[in-house]
A and B are shown apart, each in its own frame.
With several copies, the nearest count.
Chain A
């Protein structure tokens, strides 16, 4: 499983990077699992992802809930609720 993660707004600022390619460990099957893994992986991850309720996600351009299954490969966007317009 090789996923491109892209971060936006304060998630990007807290992570210190705009995107990265990761191979999550076995057992990380859903968006919720991915967020939990990132929150425990390192300090920026803890800062960005310790409140999962504040995080929205999209898989290959489509909004996805915490229970959505991760694809074998693709782009996962992680970001706070939108405030545009």
Chain B
């Protein structure tokens, strides 16, 4: 059971968790990413491609499902304008045993940073506005999944 969604509306984490957890699977892992107000950030704008962004998320979800035995997978990404504290991304994975669920969540959040068509623009209280540059660390983490069998 794979659920993938991209949208500008707020992510209802509790409702998504409840729906995903209703399966009562042996092991469920999750990751919630939120906007940080570091350095006086007032707005995060996430630009997306109407076709490539959902397509990329669906491809990542399919890749995780092929790689690990998952009972359920939820991958939800918000786009558009967000304030500090709001949820950007939610990843939920369930499996019979813990190793699969934990690995799938980590894989998905690492690869999301480098493989999906999303661009972050930050606005700060002092008026600065700028596009975020790609971080080397994100690539190093994402590439771990190329080298290892799991």
How many interface contacts (CB-CB < 8 Å) are there between A and B?
66
- B69-127, CB < 8 A from A: 77, 88-89, 109, 112-121
Write out the residue numbers on chain A whose beta carbons fall within 8 Å of the beta carbon of B112. Answer: 84-85
Bound CA–CA A55/B10 (angstroms): 31
Nearest 7 pairs of A and B residues by beta carbon: A84-B118, A85-B112, A9-B119, A85-B113, A81-B134, A83-B132, A10-B131
Write out the residue numbers on chain B whose beta carbons fall within 8 Å of the beta carbon of A82. Answer: 113-119, 134
Task: Decide if A77 is an interface residue (CB 8 Å cutoff).
Answer: yes
CB < 8 Å neighbour of B133 from A6, A12, A83, A84: A83
CB pair A61 B115 closer than 8 Å:
no
CB pair A84 B55 closer than 8 Å:
no
Write out the residue numbers on chain B whose beta carbons fall within 8 Å of the beta carbon of A6. Answer: 49
Q: Which of B112, B118, B119 has the most CB of A within 10 A?
A: B119
Q: Nearest-CB distance from A47 to chain B (Å)? A: 14
Bound CA–CA A84/B114 (angstroms): 7
Bound CA–CA A79/B56 (angstroms): 15
Q: Nearest-CB distance from A15 to chain B (Å)? A: 14
CB pair B131 A8 closer than 8 Å:
no
Interface residues of B, CB < 8 Å — how many? 29
When each residue 122-142 of chain B gets 1 if its CB lies under 8 Å from chain A and 0 otherwise, what string results?
A: 000000000111110010000
Q: Which of A6, A61, A79, A83 has the most CB of B within 10 A?
A: A83
Task: Decide if B51 is an interface residue (CB 8 Å cutoff).
Answer: yes
Known: A8-B117, A84-B119, A85-B88. 5 other contacts (CB 8 A): A81-B133, A82-B134, A84-B113, A84-B116, A85-B116
Task: Decide if B46 is an interface residue (CB 8 Å cutoff).
Answer: yes
Task: Decide if B16 is an interface residue (CB 8 Å cutoff).
Answer: no
Bound CA–CA A6/B49 (angstroms): 9
When each residue 26-66 of chain B gets 1 if its CB lies under 8 Å from chain A and 0 otherwise, what string results?
A: 00000001000000000000111101110100000000000
Write out the residue numbers on chain A whose beta carbons fall within 8 Å of the beta carbon of B55. Answer: 61
Q: Nearest-CB distance from B27 to chain A (Å)? A: 11
CB pair A79 B131 closer than 8 Å:
no
Bound CA–CA A52/B68 (angstroms): 38
